[in-house]
Structure 1
Amino acid sequence: MLEQFRKETDDHSVKGTIRNNILSHVMNNGSFTIAEIASGTGYSLTTVSKYVSEMLENGVINEIERVSLHTKGRRTVRYGLDLNSYYFLGIDMRTFILNIALSDFAGNIIKIERCQDFRFQNSYETLDEICQRVSTFINSLDKNQKEKIVAANMNIPGRVDSHNGTSSSTFHFEDMGETPLAETLSARFGVRTYIENDTKSMAFGEYMTGLNQKYKNVLFVNIGWGLGLGIIIDGKLYYGKNGYTGEFGHVNMYDNNVLCHCGKKGCIETEVSGRAIHRKLIERINSGESSVLSRMVNQRVSITTKDILDAAENEDPLCMELISQTGMELGHQLAGLINLFNPEAVILGGSLSKAKPYDFLQPAELAIRKYSLRLMSQNVYIATSTLGDMAGAVGACLLARSRTFGEI
């Protein structure tokens, strides 16, 4: 039945379009009655009843309860997704950690493995390591779960054309020729695999797990080792022409002569990112300032974003100062985006967003209020991610689900 669904989706048939629109409404809003779906999609009650009956017969949805909407008459059936009908795999790759998760049809994470010893390098070796770890994870699942995995999504940094399954920066090797990365991963994992920019995936996960009930226009900022932006307009991820939107970190803003990893100088990311804090920390310790991380710097031990956050948590003055400066400068740059996009909400995610609010969120919000137009920012909801470290993994699973049943 899944193959039939996929064929109808890929062929953009009328039947596939109607079914996917109904499923999309259900995935966005949870349980439903036929009348609610008809109202939400614009299809007739007869059309909705026909497709709901088909999906009920095929085990895609099931009957949850019968409710009395009136004092007299038959009770109305409320339906929901059959949680165990399909499973989805989410791979969230970051600089210092690899998360591999499995979700049920409703998007609930039922198993996750956090590979804390992972270190990203843009190399064949790292790609092979990821494929091996994912294969091991799949083999650890029970037989029913393994057989019902229908799709996977892998988050990667950089320029990603998710609709064609290609990456222009990460794992883009010459000898792979014209073969899309998504096709290579599908063959290695043994399951249809999609790829997505890591920040877009985090934004999608955050939006679909609560924000979508309140807002339609959201900016999601991913500030970790780098800096990215996920843009949601009218309830949908905004991709632009080739899917390369959100390269906020590579806007030229500073005359600092600092070379960004993109190859250009003066990018926002050279001053506002975990990488920037790391550089400044080493520079200032080498110039004679003290920190609890001084010994690690002097011994040339690798320092992660977590090390810096832990030092700030323990009230290390230098780390607290650098994080606060970064929050303030981030807010300064976000003020411009708020003036441009006029969003309803701005969500700060990524590893640096886990810093204490008075070290990061409050300086960022203060700068936003200071530098943006008052009419633009006065009613904007500004907060840190509710999903935290789980945003990427949740988003990856939900993207795999959404792409299985139509476009995002």
Structure 2
Amino acid sequence: MDVKFLFANQENKTDSVKKSIIRLYIEGGPATIAEMAGRVGLSIPTTTKVLAELADDGFVSDFGKQETEGGRRPNLYGLKPDSGLFVGVNVSLFHLDIALLNLEGSTLVLQENIPYKLEDSREALLELCTQIKQFISAQGSLADQVLGVGLNITGRVNASSGYSYSYFYMDEQPLVDFLREQTGYRCFIDNDTRAMAYGEFKSSEARAAQNLIFVNIDWGIGIGIIVNGLPYYGKSGFAGEFGHFSLYENELICRCGKKGCLETEASGFALQRVLTERIKAGSGSVLQPKLAEGGALQLEDIIQATLDEDVLAIEAVEEIGYKLGKALAGLINIFNPEQLVLGGLVALCGDYILLPVKTSINKFSINLINKDTEIRLSKLGHKAGVVGVALLARDRILAS
């Protein structure tokens, strides 16, 4: 398989057309030469020549004659889905998820909950690279088809420059360069919530919505914004730091170092704090033994307790949801999105978090604006980030 046209330092017109045709096949499916010529805006002879080259490169296949009602039956051409593969890496505080996706976005392999502790250290970064290399190596012959690696990580990430400023900002070297040196593959990075938003947007259930806000309710709070079908990055690539809106007059120090941020009252950290305080004050809960043993409550423990109908956990989740919904009401007033999607760990509580968010939004946002916004839970759930960042890597490689 010849992939040189994907990585040429100086792209010529034919390379650009090849990428365009692959993108059009991804979006529109198989097509005859005449149909593809119309899609790409070229003559039939030129399109025929480029398709022949893509077939020689190993990316396009002749699917045979198309069924028609009469006349000469044209040949149908389409992608070989597995001719190009992309690795997505979702970096969480306490584990990794790594997936292998093909050109069409289908997940071929998914490894979840790989033990890993995210720390801002060279050792943690090298361990991350080791896990990526081991995953790719384990794919056998499929490893030869890997074209790129996408990695999402929490915090301030500039996807265009390749720098991560919250983690692994070392030696003033772009993180993507270090990853490429260690893994041997072209690498891309993005913010975790933005990757989740993109994965959700690209899922078949969400494609009709061109304007979407994805709310990642995890230990912290972040949003990913899709505007007219494209991720919104802002001037420096840091758009989406919703959790650091200063909304409360409290003395709680946020992870950013400031007081009163939304995260201090409506996040996974806030949920953990509230439940811990109430249990220690004597409130009953199935989570009591966990604290009695000297351990700290994890979000997974709280989510399971909520789904098991623990009253204290449900009450805490509802309070968090109501506070979050009040803040989200402002976003709806500003952006008027088609969809507002709740994702991240805490969203696994389902209706226990969704319903109080909706109630609060209905109370605090303008009805004329919110009536056109669908508020729902993520369809991809915990897979949104790992799928989204693999698709971002794919789309950047195929960009002209």
Counting matched residue pairs gives 399
Correspondence 1:84 to 2:99:
no
| Corresponding residue number in structure 1 for 2:311 | 317
In the alignment, what sits opposite 1:122?
120
- Are the aligned partners of 2:95 and 2:115 in contact in 1 as well (CA < 8 Å)? yes
What's the CA shift for 1:80? Answer: 2.6
CA deviation string 1:316-354 (max 9, x = no partner): 111111111112222211111111111111111111111
Could you say if the C-alpha distance between residues 228 and 53 of structure 1 is closer, same or farther in structure 2, counting changes exceeding 3 Å? Answer: same
- 1:60-79 matches, within 5 Å, as 60-64=59-63, 66-69=65-68, 71-79=69-77
- AA in 2 matched with 1:100: I
| Structure 2: unaligned runs, 5 residues or longer | none
**Aligned counterpart, 2:187:** 193
Residue 23 of structure 1 and its aligned partner are, at CA, apart by 2.4
Shift of 1:172: 1.5
SS at match of 1:213: coil
Give the superposition deviation at 1:211. Answer: 4.7
User: CA shift at 1:184, angstroms?
Assistant: 0.5
The answer to whether 1:19 aligns with 2:18 is: yes
Pair 1:36–1:214, CA change in 2 (3 A)? farther
1:406 aligned partner: 399
Of 340, 343, 351, 1:346 maps to 340
Where does residue 103 of structure 1 map in the other structure?
101
Q: Which residue of 2 aligns with 1:375?
A: 368
- For 1:375 and 1:42, the matched residues in 2 are separated by 41
- Residue pair 1:28, 1:208 contacting (<8 A) in 2 also: no
User: For residue 323 of structure 2, what is the aligned residue in structure 1?
Assistant: 329
Aligned 1:202-351 pairs, distance under 5 A = 202-211=196-205, 213-351=207-345
Amino acid at match of 1:397: A
For 1:42 and 1:211, how far apart are their aligned partners in 2? 29
Q: How far apart, CA to CA, are the structure 2 residues paired with 1:270 and 1:368?
A: 19
Provide the secondary structure at the position in 1 that maps to 2:65.
strand
Paired AA for residue 22 in structure 2: L
Which residue identity is paired with 2:387?
V
User: Is 1:135 aligned to residue 128 of structure 2?
Assistant: no
- Indicate whether 1:364 and 2:357 are aligned: yes
The structural deviation recorded for 1:34 is 4.2
Give the letter for the 1:179 counterpart.
Answer: Q
Question: RMSD across aligned C-alpha pairs, in angstroms?
Answer: 2.0
Distance (Å, rounded) in 2 between the aligned partners of 1:329 and 1:287: 23
| SS of aligned partner of 1:103 | strand
User: Which SS does the other structure have where 1:360 is aligned?
Assistant: helix
Mapped partners of 2:39, 2:249: distance in 1: 51
Quick one: percent identity of the two aligned structures? 37
SS of equivalent to 2:342: strand
Q: 1:281 to 1:29 in 2, by over 3 A?
A: farther
Residue aligning to 2:167: 170
User: Hey, what does 1:54 align to over in structure 2?
Assistant: 53
* Structure 2 residue 151 is the aligned partner of structure 1 residue 158: no
Q: What is the letter of the counterpart of residue 376 of structure 1? A: I
Distance 1:375 1:384, change over 3 A: same
Q: For residues 171-197 of structure 1, what are the alpha-carbon distances to aligned partners after superposition, in whole Å with 9 as ceiling and x for unaligned?
A: 123xxx221111111111121111111
Partner Cα distance (2:209, 2:55) in 1: 31
The residue type equivalent to 1:218 in the other structure is L
User: Residues 27-42 of structure 1: matches in 2 within 5 Å?
Assistant: 27-42=26-41
Offset, 1:47: 4.6
Q: CA offset at residue 295 of structure 1?
A: 2.2
Q: Taking structure 1 as reference, are residues 48 and 377 closer, same or farther at Cα in structure 2, changes over 3 Å only? A: farther
* TM-score between the two structures when normalised by the length of structure 2: 0.93
Q: Is contact 1:344–1:380 with CA below 8 Å preserved after alignment?
A: yes
